[in-house]
Chains A and B, each alone.
Chain A
Amino acid sequence: MEYTFHWRPVFRALPDLLDAGLLTLQVAALSMVFGVVFGLGLAIIRLNARGPLLWAASTWIELARNTPALFQLFFFGFGLGAFGWHLSPYAIVLVGLSFNNAGYLAENFRGGFKALPPTQLRAARSLGMTATQAYIRIIIPQVLRIVYHPMTNQMVWAVLMSSLGMLVGFRELSGETQFFASKTFRIFEYFAVTAVIYYVIVKLILAMSRLLAMRLFRY
């Protein structure tokens, strides 16, 4: 049997696909913001805290890194649902990806903190800075540079992982593609075009990251 390609319906749906691509980028970027904030917190707890706080942080990191991302999304979708907590598909993906990013980034950050000479903190404290000031002004900026490339990787990974959203009913790029593909049965065409869109998004992220690095890291 011969398969005839039909591209026209795909191109008609292109504006919708691009909108969905923006949604993908948005949820991935937001999940990175939360991931960086919580990841830094987890790394600092893991390096400094003891007792229940350390246990909670370690559990978070272990679960995020050692279970499938899809299961993590299912947990925030259907798992919490079982307890009467119903999140919107958008929220499920955002919370799930943030949870996952934070776990992975925490381990990167931990390595970053360890790579800094401990005397940097002492020097900052000796000038009268509080621990918080020393972390925000001296330690974290240097750690972010050390883990800059792993962070870029995580951002790319977040974009690609967000495609799991279609399995919890989120109409991001993959969900939208699935929706159109099942309406028209032009499954190959739709997913081929979508793959190109993903590819372009990731390439843009990498280019942006390189430009940003040139501006940020002049030392």
Chain B
Amino acid sequence: MIEIRDIHKYFGSLQVLKGIDLNVEKGEVLSVIGASGSGKSTLLYCINGLEKIQQGSIRVDDVDVHAKGTDINQLRQNLGMVFQQWNSFPHLTTIENVALSPRIVKKKSRAEARDIAAAQLKHVGLGDKLDVYPSALSGGQQQRLAIARALAMEPEYMLFDEATSALDPELVGEVLDTMRLLAEEGMTMICVTHEMGFARDVSDRVAFFHEGIMEEIGPPKQIFGDAISAHTQKFLANVR
């Protein structure tokens, strides 16, 4: 379980998170929606410790992410992250991209890491692209590569930071399908997204962020059909 307690986050004097409280249960799919700059991506970065917080606490399976003694590299293995800019490692082939961390972080043998990587690439539908460089892949394929790379660490949680925002429209579908597949397999997911269809169909709950505050959280039916907050209503009216 991920437990977020009253976190505050500043970039210099700008406060981007203003006291967020949130629990994410195992197996849950949570979508986080809201305008750019509302703090939703920052929340993900705080969860896996890529950004520090100035107040509050985040616990992942009872481990305090921001505590001094926490082995953050150990913790991150359990928190797969997929970025908006897909960030394939351009100097490594597809399979090397995926096999690298199992080998050097988890200390698996070369053969074992390769097997894991091949299996995960097949999982996301890139089984026929093992030995090409990312430059030969489309944006959608590179994003699926990034998903396979995160999955190869066998995380229990996956964090998606606007995984489809940088893609050409015709490539969005294949990435969303992969994310749907993971959700069906029971992966715990936090998806920061602008894909309202995905948020409505796939999530167990949807959270709406506005200017650093979580304005509203609830089942998709409630958020999309019967939002309480005027900000949520206005946002949804504008994106639809």
Answer whether A145 and B101 are a contact pair too, CB < 8 Å, given A122-B83, A128-B76.
Answer: no
Contact at A218–B85, with CB atoms within 8 Å?
A: no
Task: Determine which of B73, B134, B135 lies in contact with A128 in the assembled complex, contact meaning CB atoms within 8 Å.
Answer: B73
Residues of A within 8 A of B153 (CB): 127-128
Q: Would A128 and B105 count as touching, CB distance under 8 A?
A: yes
| A65 surroundings in chain B (CB, below 8 A) | none
B83 to A127, Cβ gap below 8 A? no
Q: Nearest Cβ in chain B — how far from A200, in angstroms? A: 33
Interface positions of A from 177 to 201, Cβ below 8 Å from B: none
Point out the residues of chain B lying under 8 angstroms from A219, CB to CB.
Answer: 90-91, 133-135
A88 within 8 A of B: no
Interface size class of A (residues with CB under 8 A): 20 to 34
Which of A11-19, A44-52, A129-137 contacts its partner? A129-137
- Interface size on B, as a range, is 20 to 34
B23 at the interface (CB under 8 A from A): no
Contact across chains for B81 and A126 when beta carbons are under 8 A apart: yes
Interface string of A191-219 (1 = CB under 8 A from B): 00000000000000000000000000011
A138 on the interface (CB 8 Å rule)?
Answer: yes
Say if the beta carbon of B235 comes within 8 Å of chain A: no
Q: What is the CA–CA distance of A202 and B237 in the complex, to the nearest angstrom?
A: 67
Contact A138 B89 (CB under 8 A): yes
Contact partners of A142 in chain B: CB under 8 A? 89-91
Give A32 Cβ to nearest chain B Cβ, in Å. Answer: 21
Contact residues of B: prevailing secondary structure: mixed
Shortest Cβ distance from residue B187 to the other chain A in the assembled complex, whole angstroms: 16
Minimal beta-carbon separation of B70 from chain A (angstroms): 13
Find out whether the CB atom of B133 lies under 8 angstroms from the CB atom of A125: no
A66 proximal to B (CB < 8 A): no
Contact yes or no, A127 B101, CB < 8 A: yes
Q: Please give me the residue from chain B that is nearest to A127 by CB atom.
A: B101
**B150 interfacial contact with A, CB 8 Å:** yes
A117 at the binding interface (Cβ < 8 Å): yes
Is B48 on the interface with A (CB-CB < 8 A)? yes
What are 6 A-B pairs at a CB distance below 8 A?
A125-B73, A126-B48, A126-B79, A145-B91, A218-B133, A219-B133
| Interface set of B (CB-CB < 8 Å, partner A) | 48, 50, 73-74, 76-77, 79-81, 83, 85, 87, 89-91, 100-101, 104-106, 133-135, 146, 149-150, 153
Which 8 residue pairs of A and B lie closest in terms of their CB atoms, listed nearest first? Answer: A123-B87, A219-B133, A126-B81, A128-B77, A127-B101, A128-B105, A128-B76, A128-B73
